[in-house]
A and B are shown apart, each in its own frame.
Chain A
Amino acid sequence: MARVALVLVAAGVLGVGAFTFLSGRGPAAPPTLEARTLQVEQQLLCPQCTNKRLDVCELAICQDMRREIRTRLEQGESEAAIVAFFSGRFGDRVLATVPRSGFNLWLWGWVVGSVVVVGALGARWLRAQTRRSAAPPLVESDDRWLDAQLGR
């Protein structure tokens, strides 16, 4: 019983902590223009830096791109269209997410292949190792029985 109480208290303390943490976030606000701009920026990378998202890059070209995104959003263009515009202008290297098409499918194939092939090899090995031990070696009584059979 004491254990149950302890577990419940621990879960309760963690739950209250999580509640405090989550409640601090407040209700989700409707997406403002600034928030939408940020969402688009997060889908793009700086064309000059390496692996640096557009929203956190301070280069002049990125500031220009951010202004362009805001302008296009104000004009009513969709987020997808804006991302496609920059992809067309700079190439797929400015996309934060690797497109799942064309040659890029090999990347996803590599991931799936790694998971499946290594997993299959591991599972096969594990089963073989376990199955091998499933056939027990003869014990003394077996030897006696075998001798008796052979002696007939």
Chain B
Amino acid sequence: MNLLATVGSASILTALACSVFALVGGIAAGPLRRPDLGEAARRALVVAAGLVTLAAAALLTALLRDDFSIDYVTRVSSRDLETPLKVAAFYSSQAGSLLFWSWITALLFALFALHTVPKIPWGASPAVAASGGVLAALLIPLAFMASPFRLSPFATPDGLGLNPLLVDRGMLVHPPMLLGGLASTAVPFVLGVAALAAGRLDGTWLRVVRPWALGSWLVLSIGNVLGGWWAYTVLGWGGYWGWDPVENSAILPLLPMTAFLHSVMIQERRGMLKLWNLGLAFLAFALAVFGTFNVRSGLVNSVHSFAQSSVGPYFLVMLAIAVVVSAVLLFWRAPSLRAESDFVSLASRESVLVVNNYLLITMALVVFGGTLFPVFSELYDGSRITVGPAFFNEVMGPLLLALLVLVAVGTVVPWRQAARPTLLARFRWPVLASAALATVLFALGMRDASALVGVVSAFAIAFVTAREFWVGARASRRAGAAHGARPSWLAAFLGLLDRDPRRYGGYLVHVALAVMAVAVIASSVYQQQGRLSLSPGDSAEFAGYTFRYDGLRQRQGTANGIDADVIAPLFVTRGGEAVTRLEPGRRVFRNFPEQPTAVVGLHSSLTRDLYVFIEGWDDDQRVHVQVFVNPLVVWLWIGAAMYAAGGLIAFAPLRAPSVVRREVAAPAPSRVTGA
């Protein structure tokens, strides 16, 4: 008997029992008028989290101890794997990643049960029941279909090792963030279920759900960016986003979640879009489950996907149940979800936010359709078409550009209604400045229309946001001066973030989006790609750089299953001055000789990345090198850091109502009701 496997399996089974109890107890507590049953169900969620944590600890211990009597450990780890990568091996394959997902979900539900449920007595029982249902649904495949605690059929002295593509320290952050982000979509879902079941459809549930939705959105966003960073630095194809089916699955829940965070503002202020907002929260969760099904079913081919298994169809059933439950609840409560007020004018921020939702949901539909189309193509005539970056760039490009324009417009347009003079005053300078920049860029030779629109829109976002900060800080300084203590500009600026973190944190996210957009445009439209074939002692030029190659070097692997790295050192100069020494190569693994991986040579600067990998070499050590000059890529990562910072600031609770600046709006007509 293997103690770790026994403890792990027993923990999962017991956690499953606790989850089912939470589900049943949560449902029964109300009709039976047994609040003690509801309380027991809530506590069962916490116990389940402890048990899944125990199971996770058992698997982690087995990995760290090289316990190859457990089949999963044999398949994903080896004795020479470094400790951090043994930790990453935890979620590197089907069963382990399911356990990790369930573990994160269980921990989130425990936090939810301890922190949030006591604050929502109106919906505690249904929230606990829904949480129990979701957790049970995740634990069932772990208990009966894809247990990571199955014992090996025969004893092995060493394991197979980690998948070569995953032998990278980035695995310590990218998958946990992404899986955590996907798992966290469950909390807004259960809160929506609770709100509908309890009939509390006013602003109460919004106040409760917002931090959870914001956290989910933030973690999902960071996870997706980290995925791009991993692809860029590890996969060796010169880019960071390939519209791979699994990448698409990861970004799909992010789109409705982003839409949700924007449209809840309309519900908060005007009591509108109640049905829509609930639908968005449900859609984000459904798409997260769809992604799980997509990755684990073998439905689509991807470099990320796990082997085909019975788990895939199971998640399709789970998806169907989630959709049906959501639809039934929404239909049941639809009469209570009517808007409390109307739009006063189309020229309002509410309208812009509705268009924002339109664009985000259209994007989700396009990505969803493009991801699944190969399946339908194969069903139609037996041949599977590839829907790749060319298609997605073509159709998503205009939508993303429209979204950029909308971000700038939405920052300028006031809530409720704007008189024409107000609009003219607000738009005058951003439009003039943007037009001036567009003219300058065009005169300088920027002829690509999408690049021009994108860069100018990004500038407009930065311009209008800077103006918002400037106006707010100026008002703070004036207010301070009136009380005899005028703050410095920096203090006034930081005071804005402190006073209204949600608004100004959101603005920072918008600026970050603009920075990232410029980086994406520059690195895709103005990317330079070339191929060099070099014999030892040769030099060649590309894009103003000179590459000198002296011959192949071999480094024997010492850990992580690496047999050897074959390196082609390149000395790079520009204008006679040394720039860097790059070491692109190929990495060969002992147990996966047919799966060599790329070793990317990368030199980053604020203006451009020099990105090199080798395609192969001849017997006479002649190497074939791919060279990319990717402008401004580093700003994608800087923008992502700004994005995360803005999201974290927005996460902070409001300290006081924003009094810095009131929206300039036309007088509200007497007929308007609501917020």
Q: Is the CB of B631 within 8 A of A21?
A: yes
**Given A34-B531, A58-B615, A107-B391, do A93 and B384 touch, yes or no (CB 8 Å)?**
yes
Q: Is the CB of A7 within 8 A of B429?
A: yes
Q: Is the CB of B380 within 8 A of A19?
A: no
User: Which of A58, A115, A129 sits near B616, CB closer than 8 Å?
Assistant: A58
**Which residues B427-485 have CB closer than 8 A to chain A?**
429, 432-433, 436-437, 440-441, 444-446, 455, 459, 463
B contact residues around A38 at 8 Å (CB) = 529-531
Q: Is the CB of A12 within 8 A of B343?
A: no
Q: Is the CB of A45 within 8 A of B354?
A: no
B contact residues around A55 at 8 Å (CB) = 529, 531, 626
Judge whether B607 is part of the interface by a CB distance below 8 angstroms.
yes
**Given A22-B446, A56-B626, A130-B342, do A106 and B522 touch, yes or no (CB 8 Å)?**
no
Q: Is the CB of B395 within 8 A of A18?
A: no
Q: Is the CB of A51 within 8 A of B544?
A: no
> What's the minimum C-beta distance from A78 to chain B, rounded to whole angstroms?
20
User: Which of A50, A53, A126, A133 sits near B344, CB closer than 8 Å?
Assistant: A133
Q: Is the CB of A104 within 8 A of B385?
A: yes
Interface size on A, residues (CB 8 A): 57
Judge whether A94 is part of the interface by a CB distance below 8 angstroms.
yes
Judge whether B556 is part of the interface by a CB distance below 8 angstroms.
no
Judge whether B156 is part of the interface by a CB distance below 8 angstroms.
no
Q: Is the CB of A8 within 8 A of B436?
A: yes
Q: Is the CB of B383 within 8 A of A50?
A: no
**Which residues A32-78 have CB closer than 8 A to chain B?**
34, 37-38, 45, 49-53, 55-58, 63
Judge whether A81 is part of the interface by a CB distance below 8 angstroms.
no
> What's the minimum C-beta distance from A84 to chain B, rounded to whole angstroms?
16
Q: Is the CB of A19 within 8 A of B358?
A: no
Q: Mark A1-37, 1 if CB is under 8 A from B, else 0.
A: 0010001101110110011011011100000001001
Q: Is the CB of B429 within 8 A of A3?
A: yes
Q: Mark B339-356, 1 if CB is under 8 A from A, else 0.
A: 101111110000100110
A contact residues around B571 at 8 Å (CB) = none
**C-alpha gap A118/B629 in the complex (Å):** 39
Q: Is the CB of A115 within 8 A of B441?
A: no
Closest 4 CB pairs of A and B: A133-B342, A15-B440, A136-B671, A114-B365
26 A–B contacts from the bound complex (CB under 8 Å): A10-B463, A12-B440, A14-B459, A18-B455, A22-B445, A25-B526, A25-B528, A25-B543, A34-B531, A50-B303, A51-B242, A57-B237, A58-B615, A95-B386, A98-B386, A98-B390, A111-B366, A111-B369, A122-B357, A122-B358, A126-B343, A126-B354, A129-B343, A130-B346, A133-B342, A136-B669
Given contacts A18-B441, A58-B616, A139-B671, 14 further A-B contacts (CB under 8 A): A3-B429, A19-B444, A21-B607, A25-B543, A50-B386, A51-B244, A51-B389, A63-B616, A96-B388, A107-B369, A110-B370, A114-B362, A115-B362, A130-B346
